[in-house]
Structure 1
Amino acid sequence: MPEHTDTHIGERLRDIRKRRGMTQRDLSTAAGVSLSLVRKLEQGEYGDTRMETARRLAYALRVPTGRLLRRDADDADPVTVDRWAPVRAALLAPPTDQLDDEPTTTGVATALDAAEPLVVAADLAGLAAVLPALLRDADALTEDGPRTRAVQVRVLQLAGWLLTQTRQYDAAAAALERALDTASDRLDGAATVNTHCWLLLRMGRLTEARELAARWADDTEPRMSRATAGELAGWGWLLLRTAGAAVRDNRPGEAADALRLARSAAVAVGREDVAGVDNLRTFGPVTVAQHRVEHASVTDRPDHVLKLAAHMPQGRTTGSNRARHLLDVANAHATMRQYGDAIDVLQRVRGEQPDWLPQQRYARDIMGRIIGRRRTLTPEMRDLADAIGVPA
């Protein structure tokens, strides 16, 4: 799984274990982790605990995963921080006076549409280059009305999504808060909350993500007989966020119910497309199927991951969603010691999303496990490890 919680969970782990009357060996056996890991966690020797490990321990202790976690501090590396400095500066700059060449709503909307292929391809470098101007121009719009606000919301949502992708969490939260404040209709609000819930998930704030997504899903549930594709997509994504937080927080019943409703929304949409809005809101049967695979990965069922992945419905999601799904597949192969297959999948992700892949700690975890199991590495494996950022 991609999530990490860079926090010392040892004190909470020790207290809950003792209240359960369990020894460290009892806990290690029940959770399927090594005794030495439990000891090191309780002693505070590990400062970077994977969400997968935290979920296993919480499951064995019969508590929500959130009880063990504080926050994910896995912030962006210095190179990423430097690359995205102009984006943060444009986002956080105080309101400016009228620009020399006053932007128009139509002009900003056209520029935003032109950036959509970069979103589809998850071209982070390209988006980092165009986003500062988009943010400045959107903020300087003097026209008023729903269309102008919708364009401003789309720009801020894109900024929040990209900053979350690159683990710049404080700036992402600022962008999404502004987007929600600017939103003039419930679809824009739902799309913003969807990304905000994803941000909370990446930070390990499972309870907040689950409660926020569930509340908005309840408030935006459409009448199925009259719902537009956009309404179904907005509701479906909130259900997926509810399910994603619940499955990580050891609430399988709630996760299953939310995922079932999301599948109903996807069937009603009928295909992987939402006409008239940006690619970040794309939703349909493929998106839901990918999240079913993710749930199987979260709950440590690699055989089920591969079975579901082999029967995916036809259609393409956004590049980042597809790449994230492929990492689940690669992880399943690696878990089952099918290392050649895992490498093949990672190479496919690298070919499709070369700029996105190095940002993923999930990929580094997978590659690190493969390297740790092999005595020698082929030149191809060393090259892939370098691309992902794993010392080989």
Structure 2
Amino acid sequence: MGSSPVKGPSPSYRSSWAPGRKTSMPQWNEYSDGERIKILRGKEIRQSDLAEMTGLSLPTIQQAEQGRRLTLRTLMKIAVALGVDTSVVLGQQAPRRSMDRADRTTLRDLSQTVHDTAAGILPDAIDDVPSVAELHETAAACWDVYWQGAYMEAAALARPLLVQAAARLREQSAAGRGEMHGILADAFRLAAYVANLTSSRDLAYAAIGHAQHAASLAADDLRQALVLSGRAWVYLRDARLSDALTFAERAATDIEPKFSTATVGELVAYGSHINFAAVVASRLNNRDRAEDYLSQSHAAGARMGREHRAHGTVFGPVSATTQAVGINVALGETGKALALISEIKPTHEGALSTAARNRYAMDKALAQADARMWDASLETLETALLADPKWARHQALPSVIVQRVTRGSTARLRRVSKLVGTAPPPVSGFLPATARTAL
């Protein structure tokens, strides 16, 4: 088996390729195996570097890229070195959108940790297993990184958090196991969120499933609601809108508090959950339900007075208003969205997490594009992309916005298109609101 050549389809024509770009270029499976290896290697890794990384000889790497010989052993070593599944090298699935080799390796490692931890497979020796209090602090720090929009850093931090939480759970007395299951649920949920944002669909489903199991063992109603909402988000990104709405509604109603006695933490959880239910309802174009949930979201935010962070999420009056912009855009209420935008000041935006502020910028640019405020839309989008290029790498919405802008400064449109990594749209280009369904 080790010496049997592994063959894939030959290309019908040649051209450069970049994940996620919508052009007339060949599909990923139309390249040869050798061409795919060369593309995945990129300019930053030389053939000699790949040889060193794999432990293979330089002639072996050269022959693999020339399509002359690719044994199963060579295929597996190259795939591991480049941080992809063998199916990607063989053209059976395309690489993740906008990811370099380091990103792919980080997600591959996270996937292994999620599956191993869920199966109870831990390193033989873990030095200095943190205390429960230390793990609470670590989990909070991991969520801070996530809400800064540093998703790959959050993925890297989720791995030791999972291992350490599982190790502490193994040593914990019966009285404290519920609390540890709660921390483990948070760690799995963090992994699911990162996977969902990077379109690692299988990992997102697996991680949120493990989070649900851990939350049930924790016997914590709030954590179970958080996981339900997380599952709804996975469904939303997978275009399972009806299922997403079912879980989003259930997550919110399960923890609906009495406003007169609710704690800040309870309001954060409820407000963010009911707001997300409004998001899902808007994607289904269920106007009445979306507006009802928005009303409840605004009421929760007003009760809080300002933004607060709790349970791995952030919510307050500014979050309620900024997220209402995107909801109104999805419902086709461009005028309402622009009216809300006019009420939001830079000082208000400063109260948001980095990720929430970036997302609001996308919704704002989308509203401006729908109102044919071409240059304003491009300016909003360009400012956001330049301010946080690492966050922007994992977003699909910028390319949607670029395709909606059919007029405006040609120079700026070209600059923004280059930042997004897509070709400028034709003058007649336009994408309907339904293009946001699975974003």
Q: TM-score normalized by structure 2?
A: 0.65
Deviations 1:269-301 (A, max 9, x none): 221103xx35x4211111111222112110223
How many residues are paired up?
Answer: 315
Deviation at 1:86, TM superposition (A): 0.9
- Can you list the C-alpha shifts for 1:360-390, whole angstroms capped at 9, x where unaligned? 21111112333x546x842x65443233221
2:272–2:314: 8 Å Cα contact kept in structure 1?
no
For residues 206 and 285 of structure 2, what CA distance do their matches in structure 1 show? 29
Instruction: Determine whether 1:123 maps to 2:158.
Output: no
Cα distance change, pair 369–217 in 1 and its aligned pair in 2 (3 A): closer
Which residue does the alignment assign to 1:207?
242
* Matching of residue 88 in structure 1 with residue 131 in structure 2: no
1: CA distance between counterparts of 2:95 and 2:267?
33
In 2, Cα distance between equivalents of 1:166 and 1:159 = 11
**CA–CA separation in structure 1 for the residues paired with 2:342 and 2:134:** 43
* Counterparts of 1:91 and 1:350, CA distance in 2: 31
CA distance in 1, matches of 2:420, 2:393: 5
Q: 1:173 to 1:327 in 2, by over 3 A?
A: same
Q: For residue 125 of structure 2, what is the aligned residue in structure 1?
A: 99
Identify the residue that residue 57 of structure 2 maps to in structure 1: none
Match of 2:418 in 1: 386
- Quote how far apart the aligned CAs of 1:130 are: 2.4
Show CA shifts across 1:302-329 (max 9, x none): 3332221110273622222221111111
5+ residue gaps, structure 2: 1-92, 425-439
- Residues 385 and 391, structure 1, Cα contact 8 Å, conserved in 2: yes
Hey, what's the Cα distance between the residues in 2 that align with 1:270 and 1:324? 22
Q: Which residue of 2 aligns with 1:61?
A: none
Alpha-carbon distance in structure 2 between the residues aligned to 1:89 and 1:323: 30
Letter in 2 for 1:303: G
More RCO (CA 8 Å, sep 6+)? 1
Counterpart in the other structure of 1:312: 344
Matched AA of 1:317: L
How far off is 1:234 after superposition?
1.8
How far the C-alpha of 1:83 sits from its partner, in A, is 4.2
Q: 1:254 to 1:301 in 2, by over 3 A?
A: closer
Task: Indicate the residue corresponding to 2:262 in structure 1.
Answer: 227
The equivalent of 1:194 in structure 2 is 229
- Identity value in percent: 24
Three-state SS of the structure 2 residue aligned to 1:359 is coil
Scaled by the length of structure 1, the TM-score of the pair is 0.73
SS for the counterpart of 1:326 is helix
State the distance in 1 between where 2:286 and 2:389 align: 35
Q: Which one-letter code corresponds to 2:207 in the other structure?
A: A
Asked if 2 retains the 8 angstrom alpha-carbon contact of 1:358 and 1:387, the reply is: no
Distance in 1, matches of 2:385 and 2:422, equals: 14
Report the Cα distance in structure 2 between the residues aligned to 1:260 and 1:110, rounded to whole angstroms: 34
Residue 401 (structure 2) pairs with residue 369 (structure 1): no
SS of the residue corresponding to residue 422 of structure 2 reads coil
For residues 13-32 of structure 1, what are the structure 2 equivalents within 5 Å? none
**SS of 1:282 mapped into structure 2:** strand
Matches within 5 A, 1:1-392: 76-77=96-97, 79=100, 81-93=104-116, 94-97=119-122, 98-104=124-130, 105-141=132-168, 142=170, 143-144=172-173, 145=176, 146-183=178-215, 184=218, 185-274=220-309, 277-278=310-311, 280-312=312-344, 314=348, 316-370=351-405, 373=407, 377-378=410-411, 381-392=413-424
Distance 1:336 1:258 in 2: 25
Rounded to whole Å, the distance in 1 between the matches of 2:128 and 2:112 is 20
Deviation of the 1:82 alpha carbon:
4.5
Q: What one-letter code is carried by the residue in structure 2 that aligns with 1:302?
A: T
Tell me how far apart the structure 1 counterparts of residues 237 and 95 of structure 2 sit (CA, whole Å).
10
Structure 1 moving runs of 4+ over 6 Å = none
Alpha-carbon distance in structure 2 between the residues aligned to 1:75 and 1:238: 32
Displacement of 1:116? 4.2
